[in-house]
Structure 1
Amino acid sequence: MKSTKTTFPITEVREQFPALARMYKDKPVAYFDGPGGSQVVRSAIEAISAYMERGGANLHGSFPSSWETEETISEARLAVADFLNVQAKEVAFGANMTTLTIAIANALGKNFKVGDEIVVTEMDHRANVDPWIMMAEDRGLTVRWVKVDTETKTLDLTNLDKLINDKTKIVAVGMASNAIGTIVDLQPFAERAKKVGALLVADAVHAAPHLPIDRDRLQIDILLCSAYKFFGPHIGIAAIKEEVFQQLEPYKLTTSPAYYPDKLETGTQNHEGIAGIRPAIEFFAGFGQGETRRARILSGMERIEVYENSLAHRLREGLSAIEGVTVTQAAANVPKTPTVAFQVQGIEPAEICKRLAEEHSIFAAAGHFYASTLGDVLGLNDSGGWVRAGLAPYSTEEEVERLIGAIKSL
C-alpha cells in the first residue's frame, strides 16, 4: 500500500458530493462513516433521478422505456466488468451482498453432501460467514475456521493445508477487514483451494472502494461487493466465473429466466439504483489516464489510494499518541485500508460517537460492524467494540485533525 503524500484535487472531489454541504450544530459535517456506506457522488444521484424522471419500466417490453431499462442494466454490467476485470455476462445484481451470498450459498449447497467441508475466517464480516454456515447446517457439512492471530491482527495461516483439504468445497475469505482494515493476502487461499478443487469466494465489499481488483488474477471464483460502499446506490454485486455460473441453480420462480446472470436476479431489480452504478465507477476513472476505462480506473484508484493512505497514516499516528487511546491495527508492514478502529479508555465507543457528533459534528460509528467473531476473539465486544473512522477521497486533512483534536478533548 502506498502512503506517500501527493497533490490531490480535493476541492474538485468534494464538489462532486452534495452531502458534504450538510451542517450540524452550526458546523460542516465530517463524514468518517464511509466503511458503513459512503456518500453518493453527484453523477450517480443524477443518473438515478434521470432514470425515474424519464419513465422507468420492467424488462422485455416492446416500448422505449423497457428497452432503455435493459440498456441501463447492460451499461452497469459493462462498467462493473471494467471495475473488477470480469466479463459483463458474469455480473449479477441484487438487493445487497448479504442477500446475494445467501442465494448463492443455497444454490451451491444442492451439490454438497454430508461430510463435505467449508472454510470461513474469524476476521470476516458475518455476511461472508453465516450464509455458508447456514447452508452447511442444512446439508450436514463441517465448518472449519481460519483463526485470527491476536498479536499480529492478521489471519493465522499455520494450518491452512489441513483446514483446506480434499473434503473442502468452499473457501470464503474477505479481501480486507471492514473493522480494522487489515488487507488479506488471498494467494495462499487461492492456491490451496485450486489444489483441492474448492471454490474461492471473496468478500470485496470493504476492499472495492480502496483497492484495484482483478478477479481472475486473484483466482477468485465468486466475488461480491456493494455499490453503496464506493459512492453509488444500495445495490449488491456478484461477479461469478462463467463455468461456475453455468452450473449454479438458484432458488427462483419457474417463470424466471434460466440463463445467467439473470437467473440469480430474482424478482424485479432496483433499476433506478442500477442506473447509478456506472457513474459511481466512472468517478474512479475520472482521476486516471489510459486508453480504456479499465486503465483509467486503475490509475485513478492508485491516485486515490495514495491520498487516502496519507490521511490514514496521520490519523493512526495522531490517535496512537493520545494517552488512553488504543488503536487496533496490524503492524506497519501489513497493508491496510484507510480504516482506523480504536477505543478510548473508560468511555464506551457509542458514547464517544455521540459526543463526536454533538460536540464536533463528526459522524463516526461504533460497534463490531458485523465482524463480531473478530470482536469476540480480541475481547472487545463486551466493552462496546470499536470506534471506527474511515477515510474516503472526499476526506480532508482538516477533518483528520478535527477528529484527533476531538478525541484529545475527551
Structure 2
Amino acid sequence: MVDLDLGWIRNQFPALSQEINGQPVIFFDGPGGTQVPKSVIDAIAQYLVTSNANAHGAFATSQRTDALITSARTAMADLLGCSSDEVVFGANMTTLTYSLSRAIAHTGDSLRAIARELQSGDEIIVTKLDHYANVSPWFALSERGVVIREVEINPEDCTLDINHLKQQINERTRLVAVGYASNAVGTINDIATIVQLAHAVGAMVFVDAVHYVAHAPIDVRVLDCDFLACSAYKFFGPHVGILYAKREHLARLRPYKVQPAPDEIPSRWENGTQNYEGLAGLVAAINYLAELGHRVLPGVQNRREALLAAMIAIKQYERDLCQKLVTGLQQIPDITLYGITDTTRFDWRTPTVGIRLAGRTPHAVAKALGEQGIFTWNGNFYALGLTKELGVESSGGLLRIGLVHYNSVEEIHQLLKALIKIVPSHES
C-alpha cells in the first residue's frame, strides 16, 4: 500500500477518538460528510474570536474578514487549478447550482456568445447516475420549454452509458450536467471526454465534483469544464459550497442579486453575507491537505504542488483500501455488490461501495452496524435515478460504505466481521 503516515493523519482528527457502546467509532460515512482536522476547528474558533465582522468595513476585524475572503479564494484556486477570480462561494453546492441554472435561463441574449440564447426547444442533458442536486435544477427549466434529456446507465456495473450520451448530444444541446463521481456507488465518469463531446456542439458542461474532491486531484484547466461545484464538508472542511466557473461565463451571465450589490467578479455572484467562519475552516482544510502533501513529497515548491502530491497519494492509498473492501465483501454470502468490481478498473471508481444484504433492509443493517460503532449510510443518497434503475428504491435503496484516507485496513476487517454476523446465512 501507499506509505501514508496513518498515525499522523488520524491524530489530526479529534472525532476519531470517540466510542459507541465501548467500541471505537469507525467512520464509513464520508460520502455524507467527512470528519475535520483540529486545525479546521481551531481556525473557525480563531476567526470568531479575532475577526468576526462583515466585509468591507473601515476597521480592523472587517479588514481581516476581507483578507480571509481573498485567502479562501486563493486556497480553492490552488485545490482546483484555476484563478482565484473564478471561485464563487455559497451556502452549498445545491444552492449554487440552482442560482446558476436560473442565471442561464434568464440571461437571454448574453448566451448568444456560446451558440444562441436559451429558448424553448433548446436542450440540457442530465444523467441517471447523478445526485439530484445536479438534476433537479436543470429539470426545473423545462417550465420554460427547455428539453431535458437523461443519459442511461449500465446497471451491471453502474457506469454511465457513454454511447447513449453521444446519441443525446446534438446541435440543440446547450449544457451537459454530469457528476465527476457517483456519491452512491463510486463510479468516476470520463469528464474530459464528455467535455470534448459537449464543446464540439457548442454546449457548456457543469460538473458536480462534490463526491470526487476528497479522493483525487482536480485540474479544471485540463478538464476544460465550464463549471465545477463542490462542498467543503465533503473534503474535511465545514459547510461551505464552492463553484468554479470560467471567467468569461462569470462576466457574461447575469446573476440574480439584491441591489445594490458589488459588480466585481466573482463577488457579484455571491448572495448575502457569506459564512466567513466557514471560509476560515475551508482554508485550514486545504492547508491540512497541503501539509500532508509536504509529508508525502518533501521539497514541493508551492501549495498547488503539495495538494497534487497529497491527492495522488490519497487516491493510491484509497484504491488499495477499496480493493480490500470489495474483495472481502465478495467472500460474504448473501451480499449483492453494486458498481465496478473489476480491480483492473479501480482507477474509475472512488472507495465508495453500495451493497444489499439478502433478507435485511439497508436501514436495518446500518442500524445494526451503528450500534457497534460502525457508521454507514442507507437510502438513495439523492441518487434517485440510480436506485430506481437498479430496482432497489422501493425496498430501501442501498447500504453505502464510504472510505476516506483516514480509514484503515483494520477498520475494514471490523466491518467485514460485523457483516458476517448480520447476514441471514450466518444465523442459520
Question: Tell me, what secondary structure is at the counterpart of 1:50?
Answer: helix
Letter in structure 2 aligned against 1:77: R
Supply the distance in 1 between the matched residues of 2:313 and 2:370 (Cα, whole angstroms): 30
Supply the distance in 2 between the matched residues of 1:331 and 1:356 (Cα, whole angstroms): 23
Q: 1:6-25 alignment to 2 at 5 Å?
A: 6-25=2-21
**Does residue 142 of structure 1 match 2:147?**
yes
- Stretch deviating more after TM superposition (274-283 or 61-70): 274-283
**Does residue 386 of structure 1 match 2:398?**
yes
Alpha-carbon displacement from aligned partner over 1:167-218 (angstroms, at most 9, x marks no partner): 1111001000000001101123111111111110000000000010011211
Question: Tell me, what secondary structure is at the counterpart of 2:43?
Answer: helix
Q: What is the CA-CA distance between 1:153 and the residue it aligns to?
A: 1.7
Q: 1:310-349 alignment to 2 at 5 Å?
A: 310-332=320-342, 333-334=344-345, 335-349=348-362
**Does residue 126 of structure 1 match 2:126?**
no
5+ residue gaps, structure 2: 109-117, 423-428
Q: How much identity, in percent, do the aligned residues show?
A: 43
Alpha-carbon displacement from aligned partner over 1:19-75 (angstroms, at most 9, x marks no partner): 111111111100000000000111111100000011411111000100100111111
Q: Does the CA contact (< 8 Å) of 2:18 and 2:25 recur in 1?
A: yes
Alpha-carbon displacement from aligned partner over 1:62-117 (angstroms, at most 9, x marks no partner): 00100100111111110100100000001011000000000000001113110110
**Does residue 189 of structure 1 match 2:194?**
yes
Where does residue 117 of structure 1 map in the other structure? 123
Question: Tell me, what secondary structure is at the counterpart of 1:237?
Answer: strand
5+ residue gaps, structure 1: none
Q: Does the CA contact (< 8 Å) of 2:156 and 2:339 recur in 1?
A: no
Supply the distance in 2 between the matched residues of 1:300 and 1:17 (Cα, whole angstroms): 17
Write 1 or 2 for the structure with the bigger share of helix: 2
Where does residue 76 of structure 1 map in the other structure? 72
Where does residue 94 of structure 1 map in the other structure? 90
Q: Does the CA contact (< 8 Å) of 2:127 and 2:152 recur in 1?
A: yes
Alpha-carbon displacement from aligned partner over 1:141-165 (angstroms, at most 9, x marks no partner): 0001111011232111223333111
TM-score using structure 1 length: 0.97
TM-score using structure 2 length: 0.93
**Does residue 367 of structure 1 match 2:369?**
no
Q: 1:208 aligns with which of 194, 209, 213?
A: 213
Q: 1:23-42 alignment to 2 at 5 Å?
A: 23-42=19-38
Alpha-carbon displacement from aligned partner over 1:198-247 (angstroms, at most 9, x marks no partner): 11000000000001001121110001000000000000000100001101
Q: Measured at CA, do residues 28 and 93 of structure 1 come closer, stay the same or move farther in structure 2, by a change above 3 Å?
A: same
Q: CA RMSD in A?
A: 1.0
Q: 1:211-290 alignment to 2 at 5 Å?
A: 211-288=216-293, 289=297, 290=300
Q: What is the CA-CA distance between 1:394 and the residue it aligns to?
A: 1.1
Letter in structure 1 aligned against 2:71: E
Q: What is the aligned length?
A: 404
Letter in structure 2 aligned against 1:138: E
Q: Does the CA contact (< 8 Å) of 1:287 and 1:303 recur in 2?
A: no
Q: 2:44 aligns with which of 41, 48, 56?
A: 48
**Does residue 156 of structure 1 match 2:166?**
no
Where does residue 114 of structure 2 map in the other structure? none
Question: Tell me, what secondary structure is at the counterpart of 2:175?
Answer: strand
Supply the distance in 2 between the matched residues of 1:190 and 1:175 (Cα, whole angstroms): 11
Alpha-carbon displacement from aligned partner over 1:337-358 (angstroms, at most 9, x marks no partner): 0111111000000010111011
Supply the distance in 2 between the matched residues of 1:308 and 1:257 (Cα, whole angstroms): 43
Alpha-carbon displacement from aligned partner over 1:298-343 (angstroms, at most 9, x marks no partner): 1111112222221111111111110001110224243110111111
Supply the distance in 1 between the matched residues of 2:390 and 2:368 (Cα, whole angstroms): 25
Q: Does the CA contact (< 8 Å) of 2:157 and 2:338 recur in 1?
A: no
